[in-house]
Amino acid sequence: MPVLSDDKIETLKAKAKTIRQHIIKMLALAGSGHPGGSLSSVEILVSLYFHKLSHNPANPKWEDRDRFLMSKGHAAPVWYATLSEAGYFTQETLWTLRKLGSPLQGHPDMQKTPGVEMSSGSLGQGLSVANGIALSGKLDKKNYRVYVLLGDGESQEGQVWEAAMASAHYKLNNLCAILDYNGFQIDGPIEKVMSPLPLSEKWIAFGWNVINIDGHNFKEIIEALDKAEDVKNKPTIIIARTVKGKGVSFMENQYEWHGKAPTPQQAEIALKELS
């Protein structure tokens, strides 16, 4: 496993700041999109793409690559910004978000965007697809791992729990789900809309190994990802407690910023905070 030094953590923090800046710029230029859940999951994607994943931007379809799937597809901006920083496409491409003909549509499209493993947008489907890819790896005796990012509001979807049963049934220890537990969805706090709590107890009851962490702490995220690799005969879910809109004061813990782009003036304020 790669060594996690203090210098490496500082490098990851700097990368996270850059990606947050990209997210704000992209959304302001597009005039639409989803900042809240993109900003909350930055450290998760940075930990994966710049420390954990075995992947090759020069060969996105490399057969032995680890797979990452974004089940909460509305958080595409954080994925696009991360893929760009990792070298899958140019930074200039980011400014075409949601434009006609752009490879970066409002939700990820695996036919158009290098590095995107799954087209997503309709919530609840990512874990099912991850199961298939993980099971395929087992059958083909491949060593790649499969990671899938879920939303906490998405956990209200019945398909998530059908998939969770299948993951445990097939003992998919090469599968690691990560739950972006920021506490809010488009209509308000998840507990008030349709509470999926208690999260840990539910996933344990469905046969999963559960790890709870601070989703903005690189040391905790990476230690959890490492521990997941050592689990035998069951899948792991990392429940990452995060802050909706993390890094921008007027967006933090405000569900109104789930799916609303900042104006140019608001973007200027946000970028100053992120500088």
- Under 8 Å CB-to-CB from 216, ≥6 apart: which residues? 43, 242, 243, 246
Q: Is the dihedral of CA 160, 165, 170, 176 positive or negative?
A: positive
Tell me the CATH architecture of domain 6-273: 3-Layer(aba) Sandwich (3.40)
> How confident is the model over 23-49, as pLDDT tens digits?
999 999 999 999 999 999 999 999 999
Residues facing 148 on adjacent strands? 69, 177
pTM listed for this prediction: 0.97
Long-range contacts at 222-230 (CB < 8 A, ≥ 24 apart): 222/4, 222/47, 222/51, 222/52, 225/47, 225/48, 225/52, 225/176, 226/1, 228/176, 229/1, 229/145
Residues of the chain with pLDDT under 70: 1
Q: Which residues pair with 181 in a beta bridge?
A: 241
* CA-angle at 257, arms to 120 and 12, nearest 5°: 70
177 bridge partner residues = 148, 237
What pLDDT was estimated at residue 3?
73
Please report, for residues 126, 153, 239, the alpha-carbon distance to residue 255 in angstroms, rounded to integers and kept in the order given.
23, 12, 20
Give the pLDDT score at 1: 67
**Residues 130, 133, 136, 137: is their CA dihedral positive or negative?**
negative
In the chain, where are the structural domains located? 6-273
Looking at residue 179, what is its pLDDT? 98
Q: Report the candidate in 10, 41, 4, 13 with the shortest Cα–Cα distance to residue 240.
A: 41
DSSP 71: S
